[in-house]
Amino acid sequence: MFTNPLRYSTLTQQVARALEEEMRRGVLRESLPGERQLAETMQVSRRTIRAATEILRGKKLVRKAHGRPTQIVANPPTHAKSSAMRVIGLLLPKPLEELKPYTTVIDCLRSSLYRNGFRLDTHFGQSFLSGRPAGALQRLVTQIPCDGWILTSASHACQSWFSAAGITTVVAGTAHDGIPLPSVDVDMLAASRHAAGVLLRHGHRRIALLLEKSDWAGHRKTEEGFLDGVRQFGDDALGRVLKHDGSVAGLEQVLDRSLQSPAPPTALFIVNPYHYLAVSAILAARGLDVPRDISLLCRDDDVCLKYLPIRPTRYACSAEAQARQVFSLLIGAMRAGSRKRPVKSVLMMPKFLEGTSIARPR
């Protein structure tokens, strides 16, 4: 089993031990990367990096000099039975702090990995998720060898490359059609189909899905499920997909254009909770009341939604449960190695949380 006698170590001790192992393996040789780079890679604070470096300095493994990189002055001793942490790479489309609310699942996953002897290193960049990412991905996995990889919000080309390369990989999200990678995600198709039915059963006949432009499989499933739910309801229902760039200005632009159209929507299905907050503020600035003038429904949940005076109707899925499923698939894939095994995709059904943001249209 993947257990670690150091499972109760503090985060600072775990980071120090991880850096020691990188030095022992020769990944880090002459000096340590800068505090900012280490903090981003290991997804901890700079204060934690600073404290971990002090542990290494106390062991006389590194030497710090003002204005210069922290120099490696000795290699850690090689133990007969190594308790070193193994490394899992996490590939992101953007820095972790910009991915809210989905950071909760990643935080839970990091904790599970640490408790079982793994360190989670994060890497982000648009070159990894472009239409032709092969060169960037090959350099990444060559320069930063990992025991396994986790992909989130990855493009079709990115998922396809990892699949073809035969690298142990799990998709924390939805795998694109035809990509044989194990994956864990909320059932976006079913949730979005249900969302359309909820709005239509409340008497709305003009509803719209607010969706960020992307090549993410989960967004495609969301759009497919929403439109399918509209079609199932009847010919008098009209469902539209309003795509935006994820910014507040982009949301304002698509909302204004839609609300000023001859047949404006009376209800909106919004994917991201932070976009839900922005939409609520934009509607209030336009003098529109929720739910009297327009109803809102959110596909995902986040703690920020609990602080709105009009309780958002939304869907919720346990972050801990999602993290456990990702961890389980990852360990299974690592144990299998190069042996062929059936590709497993886990779809989790979210819980519908009824709030006060939906009413019958006037």
Of 143, 161, 184, the last residue of a domain is 184
Domain assignment of residue 109, yes or no: yes
Hey, is 281 helix, strand or coil? helix
Q: In terms of domains, do 177 and 198 share one?
A: no
pLDDT score for 10: 66
Q: In terms of domains, do 132 and 247 share one?
A: no
- Report the predicted TM-score, pTM, of the whole model to 2 decimal places: 0.75
The CA distance from 149 to 171, in Å, is 9
Q: In terms of domains, do 108 and 222 share one?
A: no
Q: In terms of domains, do 169 and 45 share one?
A: yes
Structure confidence by residue, pLDDT tens digits, 56-69: 888 888 888 777 88
pLDDT score for 255: 96
pLDDT score for 140: 87
Identify the CATH number of the domain in which residue 254 sits. 3.40.50.2300
Dihedral of alpha carbons 149, 150, 155, 159, sign: positive
Q: In terms of domains, do 148 and 240 share one?
A: no
Q: Which helix (H) or strand (E) holds 228?
A: helix 217-233
How confident is residue 5, by pLDDT bands cut at 50, 70 and 90?
Answer: very low
Give the chain's domain count. 2
pLDDT score for 271: 95
Domain assignment of residue 224, yes or no: yes
How confident is residue 81, by pLDDT bands cut at 50, 70 and 90?
Answer: very low
Averaged pLDDT for residues 255-269:
95
Instruction: Examine the pLDDT at 275 and tell me if it is beyond 90.
Output: yes
Of 161, 184, 207, the last residue of a domain is 184
Long-range contacts of 251-258 (CB under 8 A, 24+ apart): 251/210, 251/275, 251/278, 251/279, 251/282, 252/282, 254/210, 255/279, 255/282, 255/283, 256/286, 258/208
State the pairing for strand pair 62-63/71-72: antiparallel
In 3D space, the residue among 300, 315, 304 whose CA is nearest the CA of residue 355 turns out to be: 315
In 3D space, the residue among 136, 90, 141, 139 whose CA is nearest the CA of residue 113 turns out to be: 90
Burial of 177 (0-12, 13-18, 19+ CB in 10 A): exposed
Q: In terms of domains, do 195 and 268 share one?
A: yes
Q: In terms of domains, do 157 and 227 share one?
A: no
Domain assignment of residue 323, yes or no: no
Hey, is 206 helix, strand or coil? strand
Q: In terms of domains, do 45 and 168 share one?
A: yes
Domain assignment of residue 334, yes or no: no
Structure confidence by residue, pLDDT tens digits, 99-130: 767 778 888 888 888 888 888 888 888 788 77
Boundaries of domain holding 60: 11-184
Q: In terms of domains, do 119 and 134 share one?
A: yes
Q: In terms of domains, do 77 and 196 share one?
A: no
How confident is residue 339, by pLDDT bands cut at 50, 70 and 90?
Answer: low
Strand partners, 268: 208, 296
The CA distance from 51 to 57, in Å, is 10
Strand partners, 209: 241, 269
Q: Where are the beta strands (DSSP E) in 213-327?
A: 238-244, 267-270, 295-298, 313-316
pLDDT score for 160: 94
Number of neighbours of residue 56 by Cβ within 10 angstroms: 24
Structure confidence by residue, pLDDT tens digits, 178-221: 999 999 999 999 999 999 999 999 999 999 999 999 888 899 99
pLDDT score for 3: 36
Instruction: Examine the pLDDT at 82 and tell me if it is beyond 70.
Output: no
pLDDT score for 210: 97
Q: In terms of domains, do 133 and 151 share one?
A: yes
In 3D space, the residue among 206, 231, 205, 211 whose CA is nearest the CA of residue 223 turns out to be: 211
Out of 22-26, 254-258, 265-269, 278-282, least confident range = 22-26
Domain assignment of residue 1, yes or no: no
Q: Counting every residue, how long is the chain?
A: 362
The CA distance from 22 to 30, in Å, is 12
Q: Which helix (H) or strand (E) holds 332?
A: helix 319-336
Identify the CATH number of the domain in which residue 160 sits. 1.10.10.10
Instruction: Examine the pLDDT at 223 and tell me if it is beyond 60.
Output: yes
Q: In terms of domains, do 171 and 194 share one?
A: no
Domain assignment of residue 209, yes or no: yes
CA distances from 77 to 59, 80, 173, 175, 305 (A): 11, 10, 40, 42, 50
Q: What b-and-e string marks burial along 328-337, b requiring 16 or more CB atoms within 10 Å of the CB?
A: bbbbebbeee
